[in-house]
Amino acid sequence: MKRSGFLKTLGALSVAPIVQVASAATQKTNPLSSRSNCVLVPAETPGPFPLDLTDNAFFFRQDIREDRVGVQLRQRVRIVGTENCEPMPNVRVHIWHCDNVGGYSGYNSEEGLTYCRGYQITDENGECEFITIVPGWYPGRVTHVHFQVYVSSAYSAVSQWTWPHDETVAAVAAHPELYPEGPDPLSPGQDGVFADGFDLQMATLEWDADANEYISDYEATVEGAGTSGVGYHEMRSAQVMVLGQNFPNPCRDQTTFPLELLQPALVTVSLWDLNGRCVHRLECGNWSAGNHSIPVDLTAMNVPSGTYACQVEAHASEYRAIDVRQITFQGH
């Protein structure tokens, strides 16, 4: 039994406000190119094992496995807005799930650990990608992944996805040395969280023999103006600053962020790569309340072309506000 003390209350926590989520496209060769159907499904609980990772840019990373063993999974996600059913770029997608034996990092004996957690920022196609493992299971729950989409500093959407039961059973059964608990005994229809339906929370799962990994696609449609479920840090940050989208993006040398400070603050900017490493940090100094511009010269930083997370911190008198944007650098 893993984490059973939390699991007894899970069913009571599973009802939440409405989030709009649609299933991924089913074609492996064209995974996320079809137009969303923008269908509503109920939101799900972020628990029982969420962690607020807002103030730690280390969790901006593509590979979230750390030292966990399991069959490699390439998880592709696309976020779509309800206003026009088009892809939504520059939103933060945070996922977390259990390891191969049903354990969650950050809780009980795993406190202080951070495996199988991380976030990415969607590109111009509304897409992002994670490298992880096919999760295990624990009593009372089918194999699943939690996700949260931060639409803005004031709003986010929370839900979960799962996979076809026969696909996860086959994945685990083919690798018994990696999954000592064996295949998941439950189907989605037997899981209390998905008791209200799961068709629109079903991701694809296909084996890629060439890459020796599973590939999964999932598409979530969220309100263009956001839905309820924002975290504590997000709400507090919105009281200190409003960080706009940088331009140009992609960039070949320099990009600029518009920043509105709602109160005086000490501003710092840090750049993080896909491996969760801080590659540059800039101390901007004490700035007054009002509108500012933050130029970020990536050529001067001497970093290679690629995708980065730019984290802006504003240390006000009572609180440290944090927000993150994605930069695509095409300089070298």
CATH number at residue 63: 2.60.130.10
∠ CA 16-20-21, nearest 5°, is 105
- The pLDDT > 90 percentage for the chain reads 45
Domain-located, residue 231: no
Q: Using pLDDT thresholds of 50, 70 and 90, give the confidence band for residue 26.
A: very low
The answer to whether residues 83 and 177 belong to one domain is: yes
- What CATH number is attached to the domain comprising 306? 2.60.40.1220
- DSSP at 31: T
Q: Which two tokens stand for residue 222?
A: 């969220």
Domain-located, residue 233: no
Quote the CA–CA distance of 307 and 330 in Å, as a whole number. Answer: 9
The answer to whether residues 209 and 264 belong to one domain is: no
Q: Which two tokens stand for residue 42?
A: 């109920």
Query: Residue 305 is part of which domain span?
Result: 239-329
The answer to whether residues 44 and 139 belong to one domain is: yes
Give the three-class secondary structure for 69: coil
Mean pLDDT across 79-106 = 87
Task: Indicate whether 223 pLDDT > 60.
Answer: yes
The answer to whether residues 129 and 185 belong to one domain is: yes
pLDDT top residue among 227 and 223:
223
**Roughly how many angstroms between the first and final C-alpha of the chain, as a whole number?**
51
pLDDT of residue 52: 59
The answer to whether residues 139 and 245 belong to one domain is: no
Residues 6 or more apart in contact with residue 127 via CB below 8 angstroms? 32, 76, 77, 78, 79, 87
pLDDT of residue 153: 60
How many distinct structural domains can be found in the chain? Answer: 2
pLDDT of residue 124: 80
Domain-located, residue 232: no
